Amino acid sequence: MLFASLSLLCQPLSFVATKWQQLVRIAANPYRPELHYMRGPGPKWHAKHQARRRDGAL
Protein backbone atom coordinates (compact mmCIF):
# COMPACT_ATOMS: atom_id res chain seq x y z
CA MET A 1 0.00 0.00 0.00
CA LEU A 2 2.78 2.45 0.91
CA PHE A 3 4.76 1.57 -2.21
CA ALA A 4 1.68 2.01 -4.41
CA SER A 5 1.00 5.53 -3.13
CA LEU A 6 4.69 6.37 -3.36
CA SER A 7 4.71 5.19 -6.97
CA LEU A 8 1.67 7.34 -7.77
CA LEU A 9 3.43 10.35 -6.27
CA CYS A 10 6.71 9.75 -8.12
CA GLN A 11 5.17 9.82 -11.59
CA PRO A 12 3.89 13.43 -11.45
CA LEU A 13 7.06 14.56 -9.66
CA SER A 14 9.19 12.95 -12.33
CA PHE A 15 7.14 14.71 -15.02
CA VAL A 16 7.54 18.09 -13.30
CA ALA A 17 11.27 17.53 -12.80
CA THR A 18 11.73 16.66 -16.48
CA LYS A 19 9.83 19.75 -17.62
CA TRP A 20 11.79 21.94 -15.19
CA GLN A 21 15.09 20.60 -16.56
CA GLN A 22 13.96 21.32 -20.13
CA LEU A 23 12.97 24.86 -19.17
CA VAL A 24 16.30 25.52 -17.49
CA ARG A 25 18.18 24.09 -20.47
CA ILE A 26 16.26 26.34 -22.89
CA ALA A 27 16.67 29.44 -20.70
CA ALA A 28 20.40 28.85 -20.25
CA ASN A 29 21.08 28.47 -23.98
CA PRO A 30 23.29 31.44 -24.91
CA TYR A 31 22.60 31.25 -28.67
CA ARG A 32 19.96 33.80 -29.66
CA PRO A 33 19.65 33.84 -33.47
CA GLU A 34 17.33 36.85 -33.50
CA LEU A 35 20.23 38.96 -32.20
CA HIS A 36 22.28 38.16 -35.30
CA TYR A 37 19.74 38.96 -37.97
CA MET A 38 20.22 42.03 -40.12
CA ARG A 39 17.95 44.81 -38.97
CA GLY A 40 17.81 46.85 -42.16
CA PRO A 41 19.65 47.98 -45.23
CA GLY A 42 23.40 48.28 -44.93
CA PRO A 43 25.76 51.07 -45.92
CA LYS A 44 26.08 49.91 -49.55
CA TRP A 45 22.31 50.06 -49.99
CA HIS A 46 22.18 53.54 -48.46
CA ALA A 47 25.01 54.78 -50.68
CA LYS A 48 23.33 53.43 -53.80
CA HIS A 49 19.91 54.87 -53.00
CA GLN A 50 21.28 58.16 -51.73
CA ALA A 51 22.86 58.71 -55.17
CA ARG A 52 19.50 58.02 -56.85
CA ARG A 53 17.71 60.44 -54.54
CA ARG A 54 20.19 63.23 -55.38
CA ASP A 55 19.61 62.65 -59.10
CA GLY A 56 15.88 63.15 -58.65
CA ALA A 57 14.81 59.53 -59.08
CA LEU A 58 13.27 57.58 -56.22
Could you give the CA distance from residue 4 to residue 55 in angstroms, rounded to a whole number?
A: 84
Q: Which amino acid is at 48?
A: K
Instruction: Locate the DSSP E strands across the chain.
Output: none
pLDDT for res 24: 92
pLDDT for res 58: 54
What is the torsion angle, in degrees rounded to the nearest 10, for the CA atoms of residue 53, residue 54, residue 55 and residue 56?
60
Is pLDDT larger for residue 34 or for residue 48? 48
Tell me the average pLDDT across 21-35: 85
Q: pLDDT-derived band of residue 8, with 50, 70 and 90 as boundaries?
A: confident
Q: What is the mean pLDDT of the chain?
A: 80
pLDDT for res 4: 67
